[in-house]
């Protein structure tokens, strides 16, 4: 069956049919999917059934995988690279209201770009739904290339040369969740990323920000935070937003380099929601960030 593509929103997001993602992906299909991702930023597949090995294989077909942060709760799933996007604890029960992992994961309900708090941030995320609550728990996406295009020239000139300082502790801190040890904080130091980047697959310019973006490098703290808030408000206007309503078997791929996303609330004390995600590393866009590149070179030198 040939790959068929149907656009889901006036600006971005598309549904893709005719691909079984559980099976190895041939060259032609890989190219078609790559093109679709570069054009639509978010692609939605229905009726998929992937175990963790198949999800891992799918992710690796598109890049090197970055394992998610190590969390206190321990690892429930077979592979460190498969992120456990669920409300379930190690005992396979719904997490308690005050569970540290739950409080941390609530941060996914703020607009963000996966792993923007890391020197090598996220490129493609692939999220697969296993169990979905009867209501709520949608995932929303915002188109950052369209948002950049819609800025006026004066704002483009202002933002173009800026870099933002990203840290996971800013996104969690915004929700008043600051219960992290000194060792946990030291493991994830601040990183800087340019606020405007060229999306490698399309050569279009895009904003790059999100809940981990704390302030603007070289600017007074409140001034930078205000600008980030203004830009976030702009980028997440409803005209730039696509909402995905999950069904079991859905698999959504999004490009973190040119979109934001957020989970929406649901009755997580009573309803199970289980999804699994892999995320590839953005090893391309970092080339326009000399600071991150230098850090990587230094790391490689240490690693020998």
Q: DSSP label at 88? A: B
Near ligand OGA by CB under 6 A: residue from 128, 172, 215, 277: 277
Q: Does 85 bind ligand OGA (CB under 6 A)?
A: yes
Q: Are 235 and 207 in contact (CB under 8 A)?
A: yes
CB nearer ligand OGA, residue 210 or residue 224:
210
Near ligand OGA by CB under 6 A: residue from 251, 263, 266, 268: 263
Near ligand OGA by CB under 6 A: residue from 232, 261, 282, 286: 261
Q: Does 125 bind ligand OGA (CB under 6 A)?
A: yes
What residue 214 binds from ligand OGA, Mn ion, none (CB within 5 to 8 A, per partner kind)?
A: none
- Give contact residues for Mn ion (rule: CB under 5 A): 114
Nearest distance in Å: CB 31, ligand OGA: 26
Give whole-number Cα distances, 285 to 54, 109, 201, 272, in Å. Answer: 27, 25, 10, 36
Q: Does 206 bind ligand OGA (CB under 6 A)?
A: no
d(CA 222, CA 230): 12
Q: Are 244 and 141 in contact (CB under 8 A)?
A: yes
Tokens representing 4? 């068929």
CB nearer Mn ion, residue 125 or residue 214:
125
Nearest distance in Å: CB 41, ligand OGA: 15
Give whole-number Cα distances, 204 to 41, 147, 148, 160, in Å. Answer: 12, 12, 9, 13
Q: In the chain, which ranges are continuous DSSP H helix?
A: 27-40, 52-62, 100-105, 144-149, 153-159, 168-174, 182-187, 221-235, 290-303
What residue 209 binds from ligand OGA, Mn ion, none (CB within 5 to 8 A, per partner kind)?
A: none
> Can you give the binding site for ligand OGA, defined by CB under 6 A?
85, 108, 114, 125, 127, 139, 261, 263, 275, 277
């Amino acid at each position: 069956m040939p790959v068929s593509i149907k656009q889901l929103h006036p600006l971005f997001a598309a549904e893709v049919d005719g691909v079984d993602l559980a099976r190895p992906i041939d060259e032609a299909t890989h190219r078609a999917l790559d093109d679709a991702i570069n054009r639509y930023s978010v692609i939605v597949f229905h009726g998929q059934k992937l175990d963790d090995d198949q999800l891992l294989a799918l992710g690796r077909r598109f890049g090197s995988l970055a394992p998610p942060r190590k969390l206190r709760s321990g690892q429930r799933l077979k592979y460190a690279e498969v992120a456990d996007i669920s409300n379930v604890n190690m005992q396979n029960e719904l997490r308690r209201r005050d569970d540290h992992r739950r409080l941390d994961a609530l941060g996914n309900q703020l607009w963000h770009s996966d792993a923007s708090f890391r020197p090598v941030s996220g490129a493609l995320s692939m999220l697969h739904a296993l169990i979905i609550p009867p209501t709520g728990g949608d995932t929303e996406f915002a188109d950052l290339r369209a948002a950049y295009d819609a800025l006026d020239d004066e704002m483009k000139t202002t933002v173009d040369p800026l870099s933002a300082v990203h840290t996971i502790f800013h996104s969690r801190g915004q929700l008043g969740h600051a219960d992290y040890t000194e060792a946990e904080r030291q493991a994830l130091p601040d990183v800087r990323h340019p606020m405007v980047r060229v999306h490698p697959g399309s050569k279009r310019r895009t904003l790059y920000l999100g809940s981990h973006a704390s302030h603007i490098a070289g600017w007074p703290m409140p001034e930078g935070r205000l600008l980030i808030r203004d830009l976030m408000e702009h980028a997440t206007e409803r005209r730039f937003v696509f909402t995905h309503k999950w069904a079991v078997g859905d698999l959504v791929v999004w490009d973190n380099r040119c979109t934001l996303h957020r989970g929406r609330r649901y009755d997580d004390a009573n309803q199970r929601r289980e999804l699994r995600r892999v995320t590839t590393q953005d090893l391309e866009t970092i080339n326009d960030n000399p600071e991150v590149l230098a850090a990587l070179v230094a790391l490689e030198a240490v690693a020998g």
